[in-house]
Chain A
Amino acid sequence: MIDLAQTVAQNASMGESVFFWILAPIALGGAIGLVLARSAIHAALMLAITMMCLAVFYIMQAAPFLGFVQIMVYTGAIMMLFLFVLMFFGRDSKDSMFETLRGQRLFAVVLGIGLAALLASGLARAVSGMTIAADPRWATGAQSNVEAIAEALFSTYLFPFEVVSGVLTVAAVGALMFAHVAKKGGLRGQKAHSRERFAPGVYPGPKPGPGVFATSDSTATPALRPDGSIEPASLSAYVPPRQLTAAESAPKHTEGRES
C-alpha cells in the first residue's frame, strides 16, 4: 500500500497535492468530530463537512459530475433531511454519557480499534499488488465523464440500478404507509370550526397569549399571577381601583326588552 501511495504521490500534480493536504485533514477532522460531538446537530454538520471534502476529492480526480452530484444529493438533500429531523429534538438535547452496560465504553474502544485494524489490513492486502491504471477515457477527452457514468448506469449495471431504485421507492412508500394514521371521524370543516367558536357561552375573540394568566383582555382587568393573586405591576397608580356592587355588575335594563 505504501508503494502505491508513493507512486500516486509522485504522479499527482502540484495543485492536486496541495488541495489533498489541505482537505484531507479537514475531512478526517470532520469524521472525528462526528464521533466526538455531543450535540446531534454538530455531529451532522461535521458529517456534512466530510462529505463536501470527499466531493472536492472526486472533482480533483477528473470526476466533476460525481463531485457535484455528491454535494447536491448527499449534502444538499440527505443531510438536510437529517438536520430537519434533528432540529425537532431541540437545541439543548445532548448525548447522555451515562454507561448503561458496565464496561461498554472499554469494549467499544477495543472493538473499534480492532475493526479499524481489520479494515486497514484488508485494504492494504487488496491494493498491495496494484499499479496505477492508465488515464480513464474521460480524462483524455475521448468520452466525457457524464457519458461514461451514464453508460455504466444505464447499460452495464442497468438491472442492479433499477432494482435499487425499486427497493428505495418501496421503502419510501412503506414508511409513508406506516407513518400515516387515518384521523378518526374525518377532518372538521371550516363551518364546523366557525359554529363551535360562535356557540353561546364561548368568547369568540382571540385568546390571551401564552404566559398571560388573564380571563379578559380588557386593560381594566389586572393580570393574575399563576397562583391567582393580582400582579401589582399590572395595576396603574393613576386608575383608582373600584369594586362593583351587585347592582352595578348586573345586566342593564335596555329599552324594548322587558326584564
Chain B
Amino acid sequence: MNDPIWLMLVKGVLVFVVLVLLVLFTIWYERRVVAIMQVRPGPNRNGPFGLLQSLADGLKLAFKEDVMPRTADKVVFIAAPVIAVACAFTAFAVIPFGPEVNVFGIETELQLTDFEVSVLLILACSAVGVYGIVLAGWSSGSTYSLLGALRAAAQVISYEIALGLAVLTVFFQSQLMSTGAIVEAQAQGLPMSFGGAEVTLPGWYFIILAPSFVIFVISMVGETNRAPFDLPEAESELVAGFATEYSSLKYASFFLAEYVNMVTMSALCVTLFLGGWAAPFPNSWWPGANEGFMPLVWFFGKVLAFLFFYVWLRGTLPRLRYDQFMRLGWKVLVPVSLVWLMVLAAMNIGLDTENELPTRIAFAGGAAIVVMALIFFWPNRKQYEEPAEPDTGLGGFPVPPLDLAVPPNPRALKELEPANTSAAPINGSRPTDKGEEE
C-alpha cells in the first residue's frame, strides 16, 4: 500500500460514505424484507419504494431532545456511543472491495489499508467496541441499562472465543492473516482426485472449512447482538437494554454502530469464507469478471445476501433464553471449534505427501478416531425419568383438558333430576319468569 496521501484520504472518505449509505439501505432493507415475510407492505411512503424512510428517521432522531439522566456519569455517558461508532467504522478499513484498479493513472487496490495481520484489526475493533455498550449501560445509572451491559459483556466475550477459533482455522489453512492475501489464496482452485477423476473444487474456504463457516456465522450473529441473540437489548425484558437512558443522536449512534457491525461482520465472512470479491463462477465463463471495478458487484452482492440472512434469522427465530444462549456458546460452539481445529491440523499432516506414509496414516486415522469417539460418546440429553407420583391431566399441570370436554353445566344437571322435571324452565328463560308463565 504505497498510495499518495490524497488517494488515502479519498479512500477513507469513500469507506465512510459507503458504510453510512449501506446502513441507511440496510435499515430499509430489513424493514421491507421482514414486512414481506409477515405479509404486509412495510415502509413505502418516503422516496421511491420508501428508500428514504431511514434517512427521514435518522434526521428526526438527530433533532430530538438530548436527555441526560441526573444520575449518569457524564464523561463516560458521552464517550460510550463515540467508542461504539469509532470502533465499528475502523474495522471496515481492512476489508478488500476488489483487485488492483487504475485510478487517475495510479495502480491501487480497492482497499483502504492492508497489512500482515489485518484480520486481527477487525477482531480487536469488535473487542473494543463492546466497551461502548458496557460503559453505556454502566454510566446510565439505571438497572435495566446495567443488566443489558452485563449481558452484553458476557455475551461478546463468550462468542468472541468461538469466532476467533473459527477465524483461526482460516489462518491455519491459508497460513496468512491479511484480508487481501486470504482473498487471493481462495482464488486458486482445490485439485482433488476422486477414484482417478480429477476435479477442481472452488478454493473458497466455506467448502474446505465447512464446520468453521457454520460456527463463524452463528457466533457473528451473537457478536453483533442481533436476533435471535439480541439479549442485551431484549425489549420484552430490559426495555431497550444498555440504550434505555439514551436519546437523540447518542441513541442513533448505537444503532449506527450496530448496523455497521452487521455490515462489517458480513463483509469479513465474505472475505474469509466466500472468496471475497471473486466472481461466484469459474473464471473461464467470463474472463473479465474479476478485473477492474466489476468485483464490486460480486462483493456487495455477497454482503447483501448475508444481510438478507441476518434479516431472515430475525424474521424466523424467537429470542433465546439467556442460559440456553450461554450453553450454546460454551458447551457446543467452543468445544466443537477446538476439536475441529485439532482434526484439521491432523488431516493436514495426513494429506501432506512429503511426510512418511506411517506418519500420515497415524495422524489421519487418529483424527478420524477422535471424531468417531466424539460422535459416539457425545453427552446425550438427560434421560426422562418416570415421575414418582401419578400424573393427572397434562402431566399434573393445572391446565384445561386437552380434549376440551366442557364440564357439565350445573343448570343442565338440575333439569335432569326427576323430582324437578315438571318444574323445569324452558331453555333461556330466567327463573323469575317461571311463575308468570304458570
Residue positions of A touching B, CB distance < 8 A: 39, 41-42, 45, 48, 52, 64-65, 68-69, 71-72, 75-77, 80-81, 83-84, 87, 91, 144-146, 191, 194-195, 198, 255-257
Q: Known contacts A41-B76, A64-B117, A65-B120; is A191 also within 8 Å of B395 by CB?
A: yes
Chain A residues with CB below 8 A from B395, complex form: 191
Q: Mark B residues whose CB is within 8 Å of A.
A: 71, 73, 76, 115-117, 120-121, 123-124, 127-128, 130-131, 134-135, 137-139, 141, 146, 149-150, 153-154, 156-157, 160, 164, 177, 395-398, 410-411, 413-414, 431
Cα A109 to Cα B169 with chains together (Å): 51
Whole-angstrom distance from the CB of B350 to the nearest CB of chain A?
20
Interchain CA distance A83-B127 in the complex, whole Å: 13
Task: Give the contacting residue for B124; candidates A68, A145, A191, A256; CB below 8 A.
Answer: A68
Q: Which residue of A lies closest to B414 (CB)?
A: A256
Residues of A within 8 A of B128 (CB): 52, 71, 75-76
* Residues of chain B with a CB closer than 8 A to A42's CB: 76
Which residues in B have their C-beta under 8 angstroms from that of A45? 76, 135
Where chain B touches its partner, the secondary structure class is helix
| 8 contacts across the A-B interface (CB closer than 8 A) | A71-B124, A80-B134, A83-B131, A87-B134, A87-B137, A91-B71, A91-B138, A191-B395
A84 with B410: in contact, given A45-B76, A198-B398 (CB under 8 Å)? Answer: no
Q: Known: A41-B76, A68-B117, A72-B124. Contact between A80 and B153, CB under 8 A?
A: yes
Among A65, A72, A87, A195, point to the contact of B127 (Cβ < 8 A).
A72
- Asked if A80 and B397 make an inter-chain contact with CB atoms under 8 angstroms apart, the answer reads no
Closest 3 CB pairs of A and B: A76-B127, A256-B410, A68-B120
- Inter-chain contacts of B127 with A (CB < 8 A): 71-72, 75-77, 80
Give which listed residue, A80, A146, A198, A257, contacts B116 with CB less than 8 A. Answer: A146
Given A41-B73, A146-B117, 18 further pairs, Cβ under 8 A: A65-B116, A68-B117, A71-B128, A72-B124, A75-B124, A76-B124, A80-B131, A80-B156, A83-B138, A84-B134, A91-B139, A145-B116, A146-B116, A191-B396, A194-B398, A255-B411, A256-B410, A256-B413
Task: Knowing A45-B76, A195-B396, A255-B411 are in contact, say whether A144-B116 is a contact too (CB < 8 A).
Answer: yes
| List of A residues within 8 angstroms of B156 by Cβ | 80
Which of B139, B154, B413, B431 is close to A84, meaning CB atoms less than 8 Å apart?
Answer: B154
A48 to B130, CA, bound (A): 13
Chain A residues closer than 8 Å to B121, beta-carbon distance: 68
Q: CB-nearest residue of chain B relative to A42?
A: B76
Contacts of A91 in B (CB 8 A): 71, 73, 138-139, 141
Query: In the bound complex, how far is the Cα of B87 from the Cα of A71, in angstroms?
Result: 12
Known contacts A72-B123, A91-B71, A191-B395; decide if A80 and B130 are in contact (CB<8 Å): yes
- Choose among B123, B137, B413 the residue with the greatest number of A CB atoms under 10 Å from its CB: B123
Contacts of A257 in B (CB 8 A): 410
Determine whether the beta carbon of B154 is less than 8 Å from that of A255: no
Which single member of B164, B177, B398 contacts A146 (CB below 8 Å)? B177
CB distance from B80 to the nearest CB of A (A): 11
B146 contacts A87, CB within 8 Å? Answer: yes
List, in ascending order, chain B residues with CB within 8 A of A84's CB. Answer: 134, 150, 153-154
Q: Count chain B CB atoms within 10 A of each CB in A45, A76, A77, A145 and give the residue with the most.
A: A76
Q: Shortest distance in angstroms between A204's beta carbon and chain B's nearest beta carbon?
A: 9
Q: How far is the CB of A35 from chain B (nearest CB, A)?
A: 18
Q: Give chain B residues whose Cβ lies under 8 Å from the Cβ of A48.
A: 131
- Compute how far the CA of A75 lies from the CA of B128 in the bound complex, rounded to whole angstroms: 7
- A256 CA to B431 CA, complexed, in Å: 13
A66 to chain B, nearest CB (A): 10
Minimum Cβ distance to chain B for residue A93 (Å)? 12
Q: How far, in angstroms, from A139 to B103 measured CA to CA in the complex? A: 30
Chain B residues, Cβ within 8 Å of A144: 116
Indicate the member of B138, B149, B411 with the most A CB atoms within 10 Å.
B138
Given contacts A83-B153, A84-B154, contact A72 B411 (CB under 8 A): no
Pair A72/B150 contact, Cβ less than 8 Å: no
Known: A64-B117, A80-B153. A256 touches B411 (CB 8 A): yes
